[in-house]
């Protein structure tokens, strides 16, 4: 399959687990680009917990990954995650407002280094992500 065919298959169906508004079991994150960051505010309910009142690490990882890859997709650069590292700084509680944000750190050819974080209401960073995203091709090229 060519890169162009792969990109065409990446059309937004609204069913993405992280940001799709049509996915009945998804997180339904709604991101906006603000000051060169991809930002979403959300409350994660107990359906996505690991142990009592704490968001599952896999869900947090998904949110961090989406803040990075979704940013590139939104700006016309469909990409896939080449490498992802996550650091959990402290438990992220369920049922409280949190902010997820991602941003570009650097670029080298088609590899974009990115960072992301999950921030609690008091400004504490509960989880951090870093990734090397591989841009497939700019849409419209």
Q: What pLDDT sits at residue 121?
A: 96
Is a pLDDT exceeding 90 seen at residue 62?
A: yes
Q: What's the per-residue H, E or C state across 34-45?
A: ECCEEEEEEECC
DSSP string over 62-113: HHHHHHHHHHHHHTT--EEEEEEEEEE-SPPBSSSEEEEEEEEEEEETTEEE
Q: Residue 108: which residues within 8 A CB-CB, separation 6 or more? A: none
**Structure confidence by residue, pLDDT tens digits, 130-139:** 999 999 875 4
**Structure confidence by residue, pLDDT tens digits, 5-57:** 555 555 667 778 788 888 888 888 999 999 999 999 999 999 999 999 999 99
Domains of the chain with CATH codes? 3-135 (3.10.129.10)
Q: Residue 56: which residues within 8 A CB-CB, separation 6 or more? A: 48, 49, 50
User: Contact, 17 vs 62, CB < 8 A?
Assistant: yes
Q: What pLDDT sits at residue 24?
A: 86
**Structure confidence by residue, pLDDT tens digits, 81-124:** 999 999 999 999 999 999 999 999 999 999 999 999 999 999 99
Prediction pTM value: 0.88
Token digits of residue 28: 């339904």
């Amino acid at each position: 399959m060519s890169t162009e065919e792969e990109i065409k298959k990446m059309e937004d169906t609204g069913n993405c687990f992280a940001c799709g508004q049509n996915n009945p079991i998804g997180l339904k994150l709604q991101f906006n680009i603000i000051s060169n960051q991809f930002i979403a505010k959300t409350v994660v309910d107990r359906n996505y917990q690991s142990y009592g009142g704490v968001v599952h690490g896999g869900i947090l990882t998904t949110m961090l990954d989406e803040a990075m890859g979704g940013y590139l997709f939104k700006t016309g650069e469909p990409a896939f995650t080449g490498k992802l590292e996550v650091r959990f700084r402290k438990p992220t509680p369920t049922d409280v407002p949190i902010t997820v944000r991602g941003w570009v750190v650097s670029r080298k050819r088609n590899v974009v280094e990115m960072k992301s974080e999950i921030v609690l209401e008091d400004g504490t960073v509960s989880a951090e992500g870093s990734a090397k995203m591989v841009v497939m091709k700019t849409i419209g090229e």
